[in-house]
């Protein structure tokens, strides 16, 4: 090296590499090697090293920042890194002006976020900073220093519930799953299960594996950490040193309830301030050595944005505790009740030390969250108190409305449990369980059950309405009598009465909503159950009509009133009164606009708009259009190529308009309504008069004998009241015989066949009762039998109130077969023309004298005899 | 066997748990490495590929790819997990770059890396947390020049420099990732350092400025 010969390039390269490697190795070990030293050691390449080594140090240092002094950020002196998450790094730091210790969450990658996201984060973080509650990690300040976003929180000496759960679960497993009291030493558990909880400064290989000298913790979500007191925390959860968790489960359960109360109260406070956490999970709940819980990271969930649902967001970490509506990304309807759900899921896991939904595959997990009821905690550990189970399951209800309405109510029920008072949550009633069940098992048994239920629910509905009416009267009466001596007792009795009436009222409402849903969605594709379906819908229609009559002037019920109008309209549409349906929906829209003006931010209102809007779209051109896009119809109408392409364009437009949602203003919604109306116009201009007429005929044919119940048809045919009654009787009779046959598929298959034949013949029979004049008229109205095969999709009104976004085309009914690939039209936004024509009826819907020719019977060779034979005219896509 | 640092206890433990079918372990495993992966991508954002490739996209694709091929990895265990992940990232990155270049027929290859503070979180981070405010400027300046010079390097040079200097991989590890002999890796590193030095000199960075 002291050789004065010039070196060849290769040697220089080798030397430079050697010197640099050595320099870096030492730097990595925490030394500050001097450059001069290397210059002396490698004189031949001294010049190079002088230029190169500082550069290498700059590059190298970037990784090594967390070794040695960390430096400062604003007025914070960074002491050590205590955790890393997807978005940021948490440091223990000292706020120099106040000389206090803080946990500083730094978002160095904030620059990668888009400005809108950042702005949202800033607003939310500021809102969170205004939360003052003893169970919320106080946010001291939020700021941005040289492009680095940070916020300073109180430094909590504690650990997250995620760690605690892991440890308890490990302890439990260590005991062979039993509940006997082998004590697990907290330290040993800590060292094997949670190595990061070790003192940090000594860099072990496990810690410096990737980021050199970076004492980051492996636990992704740890926001706060510390190297002592872990044992204490576990002790607290175990039972404050006196009772061990493992030996006294009762104590554990009560402790869980205590934790739950604290979190619920914290959440309630935040909700009252308009802040929803959105990411409640064990990892975000910190417990200190006194057993106090702190909710951390308010407002941060927003930062994850959509990625919360992707791998980057922490597949199981976050997803596992997300509410169904959050998982489904139902924009606009995720509100504070999502926190209630997540807290429920967290408590569940604390109770049984296993997650409520344990799927290990992302999609399976999503499915579980959206579809499956969690296994009852008591099935996992029979020692879990019934009340706690009830509370947790209520908090975790799939439907936000079925959960506790507020975190406070959840907390209150937990308190009741602790105080041995009766809790308010009810275990799901038989009806609810049955409905849930029937939703999943679409069988005749279920349908029959629904009929039975309907009877009782109908009773409950009227009782509730009566009670409500009575209450109103009584209230008026009482106001008059107020001056007179009204005893306190009487007052209380009344309040109780009122609460009771209100409660049964709400329950009835829910039951009817549910029933409507069942009949709309579950029964839609059971042709032989159409009668039942109609009965249910008619009952529901009457209920909604009653509801509307009763609540029209009640300011507290306006939102429900809108929902009722929507459902009412949907049902009217369904059972063939489009004009009335349109009126109901327009009414809903007007009311809705009024409500939105009053409170534009209410998320349900947006969803409500959407359902009104989609429903209106269908009522207007949509139905016609969905018929027109089908090739057999186009052929029948002999459309020109230009007309066809124009129709395709309109269809695309309509889909596009329906597809997008999001937060729109009343004006934007209006504009959409107008666009829709404009579309109707161009549609009606598109067809010539004979085509329009023919389309009407086809539509009428497809409605089957239902058409006869349509007031418009009745008027056109000049049906006499006697005839109408006769028609109704015929339909009823056929329906009854259909039901009397019992379940198809068994020995009574013959009866079943007969009954079905009877059902089919109704159209013939009805036409038979018409006068000659009427029959001619009917033939003129229906025209030649439509010969094409159509796909029909039973798009029920869906679940109007939760917005069309949740609707899904159900293509599961593969046994109907022979349709070929599901047409592209089967998108959620598509509302097909024949909403619910029962196929069998449809077959017979042609003009009576000729209809028989069109039918080609297919032997019923399906393994599911429940399906009626399909015949040629109309195929169902679902 | 080459001198490869084995996976840490924690990683090994998580891998074991994954083998037992515990998905949350996979999650933790990814979480452990996410920032690191991100940094690896960020480092390369200053080069010619610029902001064309979004860091989180690469990280996500890498994670998905990892997820897809995890079973195979667990059966074969050809190398430490960390290296395997590193390798997967490299492949994804290459693929995405290629995709981008093909997508836009613009001559990305000839674009010179632009110093762009707004899209370079790495350097911001570097500049943002510093012990002594008085040194800030000098270090910022040096960092800027180094970054510009690194950006001007040929991709292969830049790559090895980042791996060795920035990531601190051993030659054995680099050799594994690049599928070359360790000796060759070492040689390439020396060459890259020299070229970097030349560029630094060209940019006017003299000893006096340090």
Cα dihedral: A652, A658, A663, A669 (round 10): 100
In angstroms, the separation between the Cα of residue B3 and the nearest Cα of chain A is 15
Question: Based on the domain organization, do A543 and A441 belong to the same domain?
Answer: yes
Q: What is the pLDDT of residue A18?
A: 87
Helix (H, G, I), strand (E, B) or coil at A854: helix
Share of chain A above pLDDT 70, in %: 46
Name the pairing type of β-strands A874-876 and A790-792: parallel
Question: Based on the domain organization, do A452 and A475 belong to the same domain?
Answer: yes
A283: pLDDT strictly greater than 50: yes
Q: Tell whether A111 is within 8 A of chain B (Cβ).
A: yes
* Total number of domains constituting chain A: 4
CA-nearest of A526, A624, A543, A530 to A574 is A530
Report A:569-598 residues touching B (Cβ under 8 A): none
A205: pLDDT strictly greater than 80: no
Contact yes or no for A196 and B10 at CB 8 A: yes
Contact yes or no for A209 and B82 at CB 8 A: yes
pLDDT mean over A336-345: 93
Q: In chain B, where does the domain assigned CATH 1.10.1740 lie? A: 7-111
Final residue of a structural domain among A154, A170, A203:
A154
B96 vs A414, more confident: A414
Report A:16-75 residues touching B (Cβ under 8 A): 16-18, 20-21, 24, 28, 47-48, 50-52, 54-56, 58-63, 65, 69-73
Residues of A658-667 as b/e, b for ≥16 C-beta within 10 angstroms? beebeebebe
A372 vs A125, more confident: A372
A473: pLDDT strictly greater than 90: no
Contact yes or no for A63 and B167 at CB 8 A: yes
A128 vs A867, more confident: A128
Assign A309 a pLDDT band (cuts: 50, 70, 90): very low
Say if CB A613 and CB A562 are below 8 A apart.
Answer: no
Say if CB B20 and CB A197 are below 8 A apart.
Answer: no
A517, two tokens: 């849903």
In angstroms, the separation between the Cα of residue A750 and the nearest Cα of chain B is 52
Nearest to A109 among B24, B121, B191 (CB): B121
Distance CA B139, CA B39 (A): 20
Q: What is the pLDDT of residue A264?
A: 96
Residue B127: half-sphere exposure toward Cβ, Cα within 13 Å: 21
Nearest to B129 among A71, A111, A316 (CB): A71
A415 vs B120, more confident: A415
pLDDT (tens digit per residue) in A573-609: 666 666 777 777 777 777 777 777 766 555 555 556 6
Contact yes or no for A84 and B55 at CB 8 A: no
Q: Tell whether A148 is within 8 A of chain B (Cβ).
A: yes
Contact yes or no for A146 and B127 at CB 8 A: yes
Question: Based on the domain organization, do A858 and A754 belong to the same domain?
Answer: yes
A639: pLDDT strictly greater than 80: yes
Question: Based on the domain organization, do A441 and A529 belong to the same domain?
Answer: yes
Q: What is the pLDDT of residue A411?
A: 95
A268: pLDDT strictly greater than 90: yes
Of A106-110, A292-296, B73-77, B179-183, give the range with the top mean pLDDT: A292-296
Helix (H, G, I), strand (E, B) or coil at A685: helix
In the predicted model, residues of chain B with pLDDT beneath 50 are 1-2, 46-51, 106-138, 205-210
Contacts of A147 in chain B (CB under 8 A): 117, 124, 128
Pick left, alpha or beta for residue A45 (phi over 0 → left; psi -120 to 50 → alpha; otherwise beta).
alpha
Locate the chain A residue with the closest alpha carbon to B85: A210
Q: What is the pLDDT of residue A332?
A: 55
Q: Tell whether A206 is within 8 A of chain B (Cβ).
A: yes
Contact yes or no for B10 and A209 at CB 8 A: yes
Distance CA A345, CA A374 (A): 9
Contact yes or no for B197 and A65 at CB 8 A: no
Contacts of B11 in chain A (CB under 8 A): 206, 209
Helix (H, G, I), strand (E, B) or coil at A293: strand
Contacts of B189 in chain A (CB under 8 A): 17, 20
Contact yes or no for A206 and B196 at CB 8 A: no
Specify if A43 maps to a domain.
Answer: yes
Least confident of A266-275, A296-305, A386-395, A738-747: A738-747
In angstroms, the separation between the Cα of residue B98 and the nearest Cα of chain A is 22
Specify if A669 maps to a domain.
Answer: no
Three-state SS annotation for A440-468: HCCCHHHHHHHHHHHHHHHHHHHHHHHHH
Q: What is the pLDDT of residue A659?
A: 58
Specify if A28 maps to a domain.
Answer: yes
A207: pLDDT strictly greater than 60: no
Say if CB B200 and CB B149 are below 8 A apart.
Answer: yes
A434: pLDDT strictly greater than 50: no
Contacts of B117 in chain A (CB under 8 A): 147
Least confident of A406-415, A431-440, A518-527, B29-38: A431-440
Distance CA A320, CA A126 (A): 27
Supply the mean pLDDT for chain A.
64
A219: pLDDT strictly greater than 50: no
Final residue of a structural domain among A101, A135, A154:
A154
A371 vs A821, more confident: A371
Residue among A39, A165, A217, A218 with most chain B CBs within 10 A, to mutate? A218
Final residue of a structural domain among A44, A64, A84:
A64
Locate the chain A residue with the closest alpha carbon to B12: A206
pLDDT (tens digit per residue) in A538-578: 666 666 666 666 666 666 666 667 777 777 777 676 666 66
Assign A414 a pLDDT band (cuts: 50, 70, 90): very high
How far, rounded to the nearest angstrom, does the alpha carbon of residue A852 sit from its chain's CA centroid?
47
CB within 8 A of A228, min separation 6: which ones?
A: none
Q: What is the pLDDT of residue A392?
A: 94
Write out the residue range of the structural domain in which residue A542 sits.
429-553
Say if CB A785 and CB A850 are below 8 A apart.
Answer: yes
Q: What is the pLDDT of residue A544?
A: 66
Specify if A476 maps to a domain.
Answer: yes
Distance CA A297, CA A280 (A): 9
Q: What is the pLDDT of residue A553?
A: 63
pLDDT mean over A437-466: 43
Task: For residue B37, count other CB atoms closer than 10 A to its CB.
Answer: 25
Q: In chain B, where does the domain assigned CATH 1.10.10.10 lie? A: 120-210
A233: pLDDT strictly greater than 60: no
A727 vs A739, more confident: A727
Question: Based on the domain organization, do A474 and A456 belong to the same domain?
Answer: yes
Locate the chain B residue with the closest alpha carbon to A66: B129
Question: Based on the domain organization, do A54 and A95 belong to the same domain?
Answer: no
A43 vs A658, more confident: A43
In whole angstroms, how far apart are CA A779 and each of A718, A746, A769, A856? Answer: 14, 40, 14, 22
Q: What is the pLDDT of residue A293?
A: 93
Question: Based on the domain organization, do A60 and A88 belong to the same domain?
Answer: no
Which CATH architecture is the domain B120-210 placed in? Orthogonal Bundle (1.10)
Q: What is the pLDDT of residue A263?
A: 96
Locate the chain A residue with the closest alpha carbon to B83: A210
Q: Tell whether A173 is within 8 A of chain B (Cβ).
A: no
Least confident of A256-265, A728-737, B196-205: A728-737
Contacts of A52 in chain B (CB under 8 A): 193, 196-197, 200
Q: Does domain B7-111 have CATH number 3.55.50?
A: no
Distance CA A744, CA A546 (A): 37
Question: Based on the domain organization, do A746 and A867 belong to the same domain?
Answer: yes
pLDDT mean over A374-386: 88
Contact yes or no for B142 and A317 at CB 8 A: no
Contact yes or no for A16 and B193 at CB 8 A: yes
Assign A131 a pLDDT band (cuts: 50, 70, 90): confident
Contact yes or no for B210 and A14 at CB 8 A: no
Question: Based on the domain organization, do A101 and A24 belong to the same domain?
Answer: no
A324: pLDDT strictly greater than 80: yes
Q: What is the pLDDT of residue A365?
A: 82
A850: pLDDT strictly greater than 50: no
Contact yes or no for A312 and B34 at CB 8 A: yes
A872: pLDDT strictly greater than 90: no
Question: Based on the domain organization, do A871 and A783 belong to the same domain?
Answer: yes
Distance CA A379, CA A381 (A): 6
Question: Based on the domain organization, do A53 and A127 belong to the same domain?
Answer: no
Nearest to B27 among A18, A65, A314 (CB): A314
Distance CA A680, CA A682 (A): 6
A417: pLDDT strictly greater than 70: yes
In whole angstroms, how far apart are CA B8 and each of A212, A222, A308, A464, B1? Answer: 13, 19, 28, 65, 18
Locate the chain B residue with the closest alpha carbon to A361: B23
Specify if A738 maps to a domain.
Answer: yes
Contact yes or no for A210 and B33 at CB 8 A: yes
Residue position matching structure tokens 């329009």:
A692
pLDDT (tens digit per residue) in A737-787: 554 544 444 445 555 566 556 656 777 778 888 888 888 888 888 888 777
pLDDT (tens digit per residue) in A135-186: 998 888 877 765 567 778 888 888 889 888 888 888 766 554 333 333 333 3
* A–B interface: beta-carbon pairs under 8 A: 196
Question: Based on the domain organization, do A523 and A542 belong to the same domain?
Answer: yes
Distance CA A604, CA A625 (A): 29
Q: Tell whether A207 is within 8 A of chain B (Cβ).
A: yes
CA-nearest of A341, A325, A318, A352 to A396 is A341
Contact yes or no for B190 and A15 at CB 8 A: yes
């Amino acid at each position: 090296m002291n050789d004065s010969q010039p070196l060849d390039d290769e040697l220089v390269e080798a030397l430079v590499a050697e010197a640099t490697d050595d320099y870096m190795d030492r730097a990595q070990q925490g030394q500050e090697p001097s450059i001069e030293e290397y210059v002396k050691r490698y004189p031949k390449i001294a010049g190079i090293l002088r230029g190169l080594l500082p550069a290498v140090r700059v590059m190298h240092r970037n990784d090594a920042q967390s070794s040695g002094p960390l430096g400062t950020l604003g007025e914070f002196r960074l002491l050590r890194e205590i955790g890393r998450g997807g978005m940021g790094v948490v440091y223990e730091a000292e706020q120099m002006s106040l000389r206090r210790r803080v946990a500083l969450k730094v978002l160095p990658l904030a620059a990668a976020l888009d400005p809108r996201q950042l702005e949202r984060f800033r607003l939310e973080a500021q809102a969170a900073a205004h939360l003052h509650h003893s169970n919320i990690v106080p946010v001291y300040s939020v700021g941005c220093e040289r492009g680095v976003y940070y916020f300073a929180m109180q430094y909590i000496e504690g650990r997250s519930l995620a760690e605690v759960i892991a440890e308890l679960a490990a302890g439990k497993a260590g005991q062979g799953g039993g509940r006997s009291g082998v004590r697990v030493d907290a330290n040993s558990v800590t060292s094997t299960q949670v190595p990061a909880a070790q003192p940090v400064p000594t860099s072990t290989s496990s810690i410096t594996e990737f980021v050199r000298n970076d004492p980051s913790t492996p636990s992704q979500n740890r926001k706060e950490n510390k190297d002592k007191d872990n044992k204490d925390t576990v002790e607290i959860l175990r039972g404050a040193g006196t009772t061990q968790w493992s030996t006294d489960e009762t104590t554990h359960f009560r402790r869980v309830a205590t934790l739950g109360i604290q979190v619920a109260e914290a959440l309630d406070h935040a909700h009252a301030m308009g802040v929803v956490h959105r990411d409640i999970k064990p990892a975000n709940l910190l417990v200190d050595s006194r057993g106090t819980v702190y909710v951390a990271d308010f407002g941060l969930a927003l930062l994850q944005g959509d990625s919360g649902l992707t791998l980057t967001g922490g597949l199981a970490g976050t997803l596992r505790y997300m509410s169904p509506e959050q998982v489904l990304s139902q924009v606009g309807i995720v509100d504070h009740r999502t926190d209630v759900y997540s807290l429920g899921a967290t408590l569940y896991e604390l109770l049984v030390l296993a997650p409520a939904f344990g799927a290990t595959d992302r999609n399976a997990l999503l499915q579980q969250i959206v579809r499956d009821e969690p296994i009852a905690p008591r099935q996992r550990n029979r020692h879990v108190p019934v009340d706690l189970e009830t509370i947790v399951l209520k908090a975790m209800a799939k439907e936000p409305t079925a959960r506790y309405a507020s975190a406070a109510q959840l907390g209150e029920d937990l308190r009741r449990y602790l105080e041995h008072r009766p809790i308010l949550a009810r275990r799901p009633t038989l009806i609810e369980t049955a409905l849930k069940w029937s939703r999943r098992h679409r069988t005749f048994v279920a349908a029959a059950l629904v009929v039975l239920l309907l009877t009782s629910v109908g009773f409950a509905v009227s009782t509730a309405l009566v009670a409500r009416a009575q209450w109103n009267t009584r209230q008026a009466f009482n106001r008059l009598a107020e001056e007179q001596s009204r005893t306190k007792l009487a007052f209380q009795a009344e309040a109780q009465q009122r609460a009771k009436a209100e409660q049964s009222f709400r329950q009835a409402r829910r039951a009817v909503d549910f029933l409507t849903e069942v009949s709309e969605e579950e029964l839609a594709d059971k042709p032989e159950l159409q009668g039942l379906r109609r009965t249910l819908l008619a009952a529901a229609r009457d209920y909604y009509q009653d509801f509307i009559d009763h609540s029209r002037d009640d300011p507290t019920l306006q939102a429900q009133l809108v929902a009722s109008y929507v459902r009412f309209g949907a049902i009217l549409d369904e059972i063939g009164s489009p004009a009335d349906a349109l009126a109901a929906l327009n009414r809903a829209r007007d009311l809705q606009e009024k409500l939105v003006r009053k409170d534009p931010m209410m998320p349900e209102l947006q969803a409500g708009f959407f359902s009104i809007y989609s429903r209106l779209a269908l009522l207007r051109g949509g139905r016609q259009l969905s018929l027109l896009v089908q090739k057999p119809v186009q052929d029948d109408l002999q459309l020109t190529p230009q007309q066809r392409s124009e129709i395709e364009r309109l269809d695309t437009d309509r889909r596009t308009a329906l597809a997008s949602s999001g937060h729109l203003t009343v004006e934007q919604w209006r504009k959409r309504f107008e666009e829709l109306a404009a579309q109707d116009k161009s549609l009606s201009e598109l067809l010539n008069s004979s085509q329009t007429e023919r389309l009407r005929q086809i539509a009428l044919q497809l409605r089957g004998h239902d058409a006869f119940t349509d007031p418009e048809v009745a008027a056109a045919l000049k049906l006499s009241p006697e005839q109408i009654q006769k028609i109704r009787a015929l339909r009823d009779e056929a329906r009854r015989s259909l039901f009397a046959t019992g379940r198809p598929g068994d020995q009574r298959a013959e009866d079943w066949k007969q009954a079905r034949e009877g059902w089919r013949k109704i159209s013939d029979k009805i036409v038979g009762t018409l006068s000659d004049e009427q029959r001619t008229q009917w033939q003129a109205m229906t025209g030649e039998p439509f010969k094409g095969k159509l796909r029909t999709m039973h798009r029920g009104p869906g679940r109007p109130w939760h917005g069309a976004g949740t609707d899904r085309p159900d293509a599961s009914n593969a046994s109907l077969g022979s349709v070929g690939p599901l047409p592209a039209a089967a998108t959620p936004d598509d509302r097909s023309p024949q909403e619910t024509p029962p196929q069998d009826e449809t077959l017979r819907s042609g003009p009576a004298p000729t209809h028989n020719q069109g039918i080609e019977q297919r032997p019923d060779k399906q393994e599911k005899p429940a399906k009626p034979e399909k015949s040629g005219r109309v195929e169902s896509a679902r | 066997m080459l001198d490869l640092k084995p996976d840490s206890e924690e990683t090994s433990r998580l891998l074991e748990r994954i083998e037992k079918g515990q998905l949350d372990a996979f999650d933790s495993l990814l979480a452990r490495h996410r920032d690191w992966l991100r940094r690896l991508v960020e480092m390369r954002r200053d080069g010619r590929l610029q902001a064309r490739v979004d860091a989180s996209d690469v990280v996500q694709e890498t994670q998905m790819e990892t997820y897809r091929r995890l079973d195979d990895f667990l059966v074969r265990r050809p190398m430490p997990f960390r290296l395997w992940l590193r390798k997967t990232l490299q492949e994804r990155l290459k693929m995405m770059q290629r995709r981008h270049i093909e997508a836009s027929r613009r001559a990305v290859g000839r674009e010179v890396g632009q110093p762009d503070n707004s899209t370079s979180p790495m350097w911001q981070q570097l500049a943002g947390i510093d012990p002594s405010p008085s040194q800030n400027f000098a270090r910022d300046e040096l960092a800027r020049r180094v970054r510009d010079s690194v950006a001007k390097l040929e991709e292969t040079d830049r790559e090895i420099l980042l791996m060795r200097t920035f990531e601190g991989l051993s030659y054995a590890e680099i050799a594994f990732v690049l599928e070359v002999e360790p000796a060759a890796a070492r040689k390439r590193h020396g060459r890259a350092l020299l070229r970097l030095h030349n560029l630094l000199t060209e940019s006017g960075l003299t000893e006096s400025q340090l």
